[in-house]
Structures are given as structure tokens and as C-alpha cells.
């Protein structure tokens, strides 16, 4: 069972409430980023039940891409990353109206930090990129799982 509710913070009133019965394990929109990190080296194409705006939808994640080097603002050198692609078979989840195709790049090491994401939204597209980090135990690509 999944419970979905929306509360108006100005009036403190519940504006939407939905109970979904007989639900398989699912993710919500933000959880997809963490799931992608965890599965970035799986080599699989996965269809993920996704709860969006109180309804069960599907998100397809393709982790079959090869590692490639990308440049991001947070680092002075290209970093090896695993690219994944996805299809949000839904629109919504945010006020920007996320949906459709998206791409992500996860560092190809044991930390699997999300480096970059590109996604379609209602008004166009959005790019999210790691600009800085404060983790002294992470030096990108020093603990590579699948170094070839």
C-alpha cells in the first residue's frame, strides 16, 4: 500500500490524498538518482515502478553504456563516468514537469557519485552538474571497479 498526500503549506490544509492498494516495490522521483548510483555498473536495462503525483508510473533505466570520460566544473581533469539513459514514461513530479528522455553520468569508482544529469522538462531542458564537493576521502577514479 502506498499513501500519497499533498498539503498546502500556506493554509495547512490537505489538498490531495490518495491510497494505492496492492503496490509492488517502487521508487519516487528523487530516489531514482540514488538507485542509478547503486546500479550504474549493472549492465542491465530495468523498468522501475515509480510513484509520481500519487500514481504508479514507469521509468526505464538503461545501464548498458560503456564508461567514458567527461569534464565537469568540480574537477580540473576529465573523469571516467558510467553514462546511463532513461525514459520517464510520465510527466510531473515537480513544478517543472519532468518527463521523457534523460541521461546521467555517475563516477566509475566505488563511490558512484552523480556527476551530471540532463533531463527534459515542460519548458525545455535542465542540466544538473556537480560543481563542488566536500568529501576528503573521495578522489574521483582512484578506486575503479571495472578499470579496463
Element (H, E) at 61: strand 55-62
Of residues 134 and 23, more confidence is placed in 134
The distance in angstroms from the start CA to the end CA of the chain is 44
Backbone angles phi, psi at 80, to 5 degrees: -75, 130
For residue range 96-123, what is the model confidence (pLDDT) as tens digits?
Answer: 678 889 999 999 998 999 999 999 888 8
pLDDT grade for 147, boundaries at 50, 70 and 90: very low
Cβ atoms of 65 and 45 closer than 8 Å: no
- Dump strand ranges (E) for 24-144: 27-28, 45-52, 55-62, 67-70, 79-92, 98-107, 114-121, 124-129
- Give the torsion sign (CA, 32, 7, 92, 123): negative
In the chain, % of residues over pLDDT 70: 91
Phi/psi of residue 7, nearest 5 degrees: -120, 135
Amino acid at each position: 500500500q502506498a499513501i500519497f498526500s499533498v498539503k498546502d503549506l500556506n493554509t495547512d490544509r490537505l489538498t490531495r490524498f490518495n491510497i494505492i492498494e496492492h503496490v509492488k516495490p517502487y521508487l519516487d522521483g528523487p530516489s531514482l538518482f540514488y538507485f542509478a548510483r547503486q546500479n550504474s555498473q549493472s549492465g542491465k536495462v530495468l523498468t522501475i515502478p515509480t510513484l509520481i503525483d500519487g500514481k504508479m508510473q514507469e521509468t526505464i533505466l538503461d545501464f548498458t553504456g560503456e564508461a567514458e570520460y567527461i569534464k565537469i566544473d568540480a574537477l580540473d581533469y576529465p573523469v571516467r563516468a558510467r553514462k546511463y539513459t532513461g525514459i520517464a514514461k510520465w510527466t510531473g513530479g515537480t513544478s517543472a514537469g519532468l518527463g521523457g528522455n534523460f541521461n546521467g553520468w555517475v563516477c566509475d569508482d566505488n563511490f558512484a557519485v552523480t556527476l551530471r544529469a540532463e533531463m527534459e522538462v515542460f519548458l525545455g531542458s535542465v542540466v544538473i552538474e556537480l560543481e563542488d564537493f566536500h568529501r576528503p576521502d573521495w578522489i574521483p577514479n582512484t578506486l575503479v571497479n571495472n578499470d579496463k
